[in-house]
Structure 1
Amino acid sequence: MTISDDALPLPSAAEAFEAIPFGEEPLTADVLMQAVLLLRTAVTGDAKRIAAHIGATPDDAAIANLAHYLALRHHDLRPLQRELMWRGLSSLGRLESRVLPTLDAVAATLGAVTGHPSPFPAPDKTAFFAGEARLTAATDAMFGPAPAMRRTRIMVTLPSEAAGDPALVLDLARRGMDIARINCAHDGNIAWRGMATNVRTAATVVGRDIKVLMDIAGPKIRTEAVTAPKKAKLQPGDRLRLVAGGEPRACEAVPFSAAVSLPEMVTRLTPGDRVRYDDGKLEGVVESVADGEAVVRVTTVKAGGTKLRPEKGLNLPDTALGLSPLTAKDEDDLTTVIECADMIGYSFVSRPDDIDLLEAALARHGTRERPLGLVAKIERPEAVTNLPALMARALRARPFAVMIARGDLAAEIGFERLAEMQEELLWLCEAAAVPAIWATQVLEDLVKDGVPSRGEMTDAAMAARAECVMLNKGPAVGTAIELLDHLLGRMDSHAFKKTAQLRALRSW
């Protein structure tokens, strides 16, 4: 029995695979081998169309593997997995970085069992693990060499004080910071230059290459001036008026009001649209829109209610804003970013054209000696849908990574979907050999109050599957760095991505 990539057109191979009689009765080894070969044929055919759709170049092995992975995941593989598992073969559950090598290895083993050699040779060890090597190389190029005792890097958002306090930055570096993040939504270019200088100095002192990420603000929608009854908190049933221009306006029927940083967001709202405030701590529904104002009825808040404050984020999951991810302020900030940063964080990127927009802006500022890495922040549903094409476009130009911005992403897609979505994003990044950054509220209680919660410790341990974990600023961030440094080192001995590492256990 021989089946080549071109022996069956895609519909025939896919339909034949779906017709395999998986069920309670075990398949014979011959039928199981046929199933694997049919699946391979279907995957390679579908991957060609996927690669063309996302704009992949023919010689890009990482994006080719991503296309194979997307094609593979169009099929329900659970019945096939169970047939493979009880025979002691790979269940295909850890093939993100090596789709065809895994299928070829399984087919070769089944060929030896059946006496019908597979038409596809088994990969050697180097070829089988080539995807892992690509991801390691991409991670090192983006984030610098890994620390001695852990694979996952630690990124820390610098507070404003870091601009004028070299000792603060040096302390973070000594505790284990690998990447310093500068949030360009705050402070200004003089402060950013001070922060970057202090990071470079600290790196020299500790003898490590500490990278600088500068995160341009983008069209972030925030509350500005607010008005509310004294000490009052928003509760379900309350009404909140959002004002496109001028001062916030409250009245007896609508006692809460806020101006917004992006006036056009108000005019583009329609009745029924959802509005989420402060990373989803409050959700409401638009009741009416008129004369540059929108009235929102609160439907859900955190326990005890939510205070209305300035400088808090707003998310509009149902509203098409049509905004450019690159603002005039961002264009001005690029001069300092190019001068000071190793990586640029790109907010609200949603489509491949957004990558071109940034590339054109960077080109207008001229070239620089060392390549500037690009971190795409995945915050909106459109970015999730378009991620393969975003990867294919971005990887043409420069080192590239993805930040899973879990705060905005949860507020956009809903908290109940975040857990599964962050898993899928990690899988796609691994398939494309793109480093992933696990961000938002990691060890937040510890950073703010000095004591971690049990839930956030588990979350931080799970973050070891990413190439980088981001901590926010806070009074106890130094303690959080040390804890995370030790935790990630221990987790490296237990798991790599989805693969358990079976080190010797000493507790029993």
Structure 2
Amino acid sequence: MPQVNEPDVPDGKSLQALISELATIRREMLAAAGRVPGSVHPSQRESAVNLLHYLALRHRDLRPLQARLAVLGLSSLGRSESHVLASIDAVLGTLCKLTGTTWEEGDELVGALQFRRGGELLEEHTRALLGPPPVGRNPRIMVTMPSEAATNYPLVRDLVQAGMDCMRINCAHDSAIEWGLMIDNLRRAEEELGRSCRVSMDLAGPKLRTGQIEGGLAVARCRPTRNAFGEVTRAARLWLSPRDNPAASPTPADLCLQVDAGWLAALAPGDEVCLTDTRGAHRRMRVLDAAPSGVWLEGLKTAYFSPDVVLHHHRANGKDCQTPVYGVPCIEAAITLAPGDLLILKPGQEPGRAAIRDSGGALLTPASISCTLPEVLACVNTGEEVWFDDGKIGGEIESICDGQLYVRIHHTGPDGSKLRADKGINFPGSRLDLAAMTGKDVLDLDFVARRAQMVALSFANTVDDVEALKSRLLAFGEDVPAIVLKIETVAGFHNLPAMLLAAMAAPVCGVMIARGDLAVEAGFERLAEVQEEILWLCEAAHVPVIWATQVLETQAKTGAPTRAEITDAAMGHRAECVMLNKGPHIHETVRTLDNILRRMQGHQFKKQAMLRELSLAGAFSLGG
């Protein structure tokens, strides 16, 4: 709380002034409650009333009032979210006793039972949305599925065993076939482990991304492992499978390629395969094992492969049999940008290009790139900002010509940054006329409505977006997924109260704080403030919150979390669910998060410190 001058201890007149001010606030709250929409579900009505009470309370600056209440040792209303009227009435009741007066406003002051009711409603709604909590941990853990979850049952089983309570499937990736296999694996794991796990599916929404970039190269390296002295400690491992029936390597390979099936079938252990790589270097590799699904080769020298490389196998009859290689992975093209550079953002599907300069370094043609939703370019104006790749690159629209945006770059990494295809684009200061649901989302909803318990509405910005999803769900009957509002834009944040009331037409709903896009849209400096306000509003509405994006991301990717990530994850206990994104070390990350949340549970609930025994206090002896 900001520093304020400490007021004098109130006399009777000051106490009456406090009663008058609180009574005015109370009347405003009761009047606001009359605006509860008739569409609100009966089980949500108390929560909708409390939300409107809270909005009426918070439309003014309460800090001077809080300071005056604190001097009396009374509640400063700082933890009133889930029971607003009860908090006001408790203070009013005490003030009336201090002044020897009785409450004469007509509406009776509510009893202490109302304090408990707010927490009960939040718990009821959380159980209905996210399922029962695991023993010893209230916040649930949600994990985003990688594509491998469709074919790798142990991966899913191990996640459930590590503590996953909700499986998240992003409909922007894979297809209904893979989604179904992921859920089948989950149900099998539930049965095997005796645990329950919900399914949440994110509709892709109108994701604005960069288009393709010309100049990608299909080239890959296969090299042995060497020690500090340059000695080979492990040969390079190459996995070859038939082109017409490619198979994944049974264990990790340095490179996987496909070749003609007839050529591959003639290989036997001990055979030698020769090639001339992309550098003109001659290489020999030995066949280690041959099976119907593929063949293992090993080599002691580094080899570079492209589609032009040919493999040779000299048969016993002296014949040289050859095959081209297929499936060489493409090195992704990128455009390098630095502050001061100009980037043209174009409509259409023309591949992007790096800037062209003359021999003296003078600019001839600026760099350019297309976007996946070209209609958005007509909604912006000069002077507005553009951010790419989750805020890694930023610029300002300098001019608009023939539907193209000329963006002057002002923010990159210290040595410039590379802009690649399929990276997010944000226009935080622009009013974009985009509906949250796309044609793809409507088609995907047929699967989501049948197999998921939650449907997350990406880029939920307006009440119309919520109503559109509700209308679509009506076609699937009453047993449909609960709506989760993904708040990832400034518009979605500003319209959250109205969208909550719209979503509360169902018996249960939820909110996801999608901190990735939200940070770019609202500004990184405002993210902490914005997510705090979302938590307050949702607690007032008794709506469960999912804390999402970049939680323990470094650990999920590399196996070791940063110190800042541990602190951030600990803050996630204030939500009802914490979401982790996929990564090669996701199992360890789930266990880490489970440990953090269990430890924090004894220290804090929402904004309230839980005063468990403090070991430091017990160990300290006055005068000892």
In the TM superposition, residue 190 of structure 1 has moved relative to its aligned partner by: 0.4
The 5 A counterparts of 1:288-437 are 288-364=399-475, 366-367=476-477, 370-437=479-546
In the TM superposition, residue 288 of structure 1 has moved relative to its aligned partner by: 2.4
Q: Which residue of 2 aligns with 1:222?
A: 209
Of Structure 1 and Structure 2, which has the larger fraction of its residues in strand? 2
* 2:128 counterpart letter in structure 1: A
Which of 48, 55, 67 is the aligned partner of 1:63?
Answer: 48
8 Å Cα contact 1:108-1:121 kept in structure 2: no
Q: Does residue 1:205 correspond to 2:192, yes or no?
A: yes
Q: Which residue of 1 aligns with 2:122?
A: 135
Question: Matches of 1:258 and 1:405 in 2, distance apart?
Answer: 26
Q: What is the DSSP-based 3-state SS (H/G/I as helix, E as strand, rest coil) of the residue aligned with 1:225?
A: coil
Q: Does residue 1:233 correspond to 2:325, yes or no?
A: no
The 5 A counterparts of 1:51-130 are 52=35, 60-119=45-104, 123-130=110-117
Question: Matches of 2:36 and 2:337 in 1, distance apart?
Answer: 46
Question: Matches of 2:169 and 2:41 in 1, distance apart?
Answer: 36
C-alpha change, 1:123 and 1:205, in structure 2 (3 Å) is farther
8 Å Cα contact 1:221-1:260 kept in structure 2: yes
* 2:369 counterpart letter in structure 1: A
Q: What is the DSSP-based 3-state SS (H/G/I as helix, E as strand, rest coil) of the residue aligned with 1:233?
A: strand
8 Å Cα contact 1:224-1:259 kept in structure 2: yes
Q: What is the DSSP-based 3-state SS (H/G/I as helix, E as strand, rest coil) of the residue aligned with 1:442?
A: coil
C-alpha change, 1:55 and 1:505, in structure 2 (3 Å) is same
The CA deviation string for residues 440-494 of structure 1, in whole angstroms up to 9 with x for no partner, is 1111111111111111111111111011111000011111111110111111110
Q: What is the DSSP-based 3-state SS (H/G/I as helix, E as strand, rest coil) of the residue aligned with 2:200?
A: strand
Q: Which one is further off, 388-397 or 317-326?
A: 317-326
Q: Does residue 1:479 correspond to 2:462, yes or no?
A: no
Q: Does residue 1:466 correspond to 2:575, yes or no?
A: yes
8 Å Cα contact 2:19-2:95 kept in structure 1: no
8 Å Cα contact 2:150-2:182 kept in structure 1: yes
Q: Which residue of 1 aligns with 2:611?
A: 502
In the TM superposition, residue 121 of structure 1 has moved relative to its aligned partner by: 5.4
In the TM superposition, residue 39 of structure 1 has moved relative to its aligned partner by: 2.2
* 2:594 counterpart letter in structure 1: D
Question: Matches of 1:359 and 1:193 in 2, distance apart?
Answer: 23
Which of 16, 19, 27 is the aligned partner of 2:10?
Answer: 27
8 Å Cα contact 2:473-2:480 kept in structure 1: no
Question: Matches of 1:456 and 1:328 in 2, distance apart?
Answer: 37
In the TM superposition, residue 34 of structure 1 has moved relative to its aligned partner by: 4.0
In the TM superposition, residue 161 of structure 1 has moved relative to its aligned partner by: 0.3
Which of 393, 401, 416 is the aligned partner of 1:282?
Answer: 393
Of Structure 1 and Structure 2, which has the larger fraction of its residues in helix? 1
C-alpha change, 1:414 and 1:114, in structure 2 (3 Å) is same
Q: Does residue 1:491 correspond to 2:594, yes or no?
A: no
8 Å Cα contact 1:223-1:259 kept in structure 2: yes
In the TM superposition, residue 205 of structure 1 has moved relative to its aligned partner by: 2.0
Q: Which one is further off, 405-414 or 220-229?
A: 220-229
Q: Which one is further off, 44-53 or 77-86?
A: 44-53
Question: Matches of 2:442 and 2:152 in 1, distance apart?
Answer: 28
**TM-score, normalised with respect to structure 2:** 0.74
Q: What is the DSSP-based 3-state SS (H/G/I as helix, E as strand, rest coil) of the residue aligned with 2:578?
A: strand
Q: What is the DSSP-based 3-state SS (H/G/I as helix, E as strand, rest coil) of the residue aligned with 2:415?
A: coil
C-alpha change, 1:258 and 1:106, in structure 2 (3 Å) is same
In the TM superposition, residue 137 of structure 1 has moved relative to its aligned partner by: 0.5
C-alpha change, 1:33 and 1:57, in structure 2 (3 Å) is farther
Question: Matches of 1:177 and 1:304 in 2, distance apart?
Answer: 39
| Structure having the higher Rg | 2
* 2:91 counterpart letter in structure 1: V
In the TM superposition, residue 379 of structure 1 has moved relative to its aligned partner by: 1.2
In the TM superposition, residue 267 of structure 1 has moved relative to its aligned partner by: 3.2
In the TM superposition, residue 371 of structure 1 has moved relative to its aligned partner by: 3.7
In the TM superposition, residue 264 of structure 1 has moved relative to its aligned partner by: 1.0
* 1:248 counterpart letter in structure 2: P
Q: Which residue of 2 aligns with 1:18?
A: none
* 2:477 counterpart letter in structure 1: T
In the TM superposition, residue 166 of structure 1 has moved relative to its aligned partner by: 1.1
The CA deviation string for residues 115-169 of structure 1, in whole angstroms up to 9 with x for no partner, is 2233465644432221111111000000000111111111100000001111100
* 1:477 counterpart letter in structure 2: I
In the TM superposition, residue 58 of structure 1 has moved relative to its aligned partner by: 10
In the TM superposition, residue 33 of structure 1 has moved relative to its aligned partner by: 4.9
* 1:72 counterpart letter in structure 2: L
The CA deviation string for residues 297-337 of structure 1, in whole angstroms up to 9 with x for no partner, is 11112333321111211111122221111111001101110
Q: Which residue of 1 aligns with 2:351?
A: 248
Q: What is the DSSP-based 3-state SS (H/G/I as helix, E as strand, rest coil) of the residue aligned with 1:94?
A: coil
* 2:10 counterpart letter in structure 1: L
The CA deviation string for residues 39-77 of structure 1, in whole angstroms up to 9 with x for no partner, is 243343255347528777596111111111111112222
C-alpha change, 1:287 and 1:178, in structure 2 (3 Å) is same
Alignment length (residue pairs): 485
* 1:241 counterpart letter in structure 2: I
Question: Matches of 1:356 and 1:165 in 2, distance apart?
Answer: 37
* 1:116 counterpart letter in structure 2: T
The CA deviation string for residues 337-375 of structure 1, in whole angstroms up to 9 with x for no partner, is 0121110010111111211111222223x225x341110
8 Å Cα contact 2:79-2:608 kept in structure 1: yes
8 Å Cα contact 1:228-1:256 kept in structure 2: no
8 Å Cα contact 2:86-2:112 kept in structure 1: no
Q: What is the DSSP-based 3-state SS (H/G/I as helix, E as strand, rest coil) of the residue aligned with 1:156?
A: strand
8 Å Cα contact 1:351-1:386 kept in structure 2: yes
Q: Which residue of 2 aligns with 1:44?
A: 27
Q: Which residue of 2 aligns with 1:164?
A: 151
Which of 253, 269, 281 is the aligned partner of 2:380?
Answer: 269
Question: Matches of 2:495 and 2:215 in 1, distance apart?
Answer: 40
The CA deviation string for residues 88-140 of structure 1, in whole angstroms up to 9 with x for no partner, is 22121100011110111112222222222334656444322211111110000
In the TM superposition, residue 388 of structure 1 has moved relative to its aligned partner by: 0.9
The CA deviation string for residues 197-233 of structure 1, in whole angstroms up to 9 with x for no partner, is 1112212222222000010101100112025897763
Which of 369, 372, 377 is the aligned partner of 1:258?
Answer: 369
Question: Matches of 1:33 and 1:450 in 2, distance apart?
Answer: 60
Q: Which one is further off, 401-410 or 245-254?
A: 245-254
* 2:67 counterpart letter in structure 1: R
8 Å Cα contact 1:58-1:64 kept in structure 2: no
In the TM superposition, residue 86 of structure 1 has moved relative to its aligned partner by: 2.9
* 1:92 counterpart letter in structure 2: L
C-alpha change, 1:210 and 1:30, in structure 2 (3 Å) is farther
C-alpha change, 1:36 and 1:473, in structure 2 (3 Å) is farther
Output the aligned Cα RMSD: 2.2
Give the fraction of aligned pairs with identical amino acids, expressed as a percent: 45
In the TM superposition, residue 249 of structure 1 has moved relative to its aligned partner by: 4.7
* 2:347 counterpart letter in structure 1: A
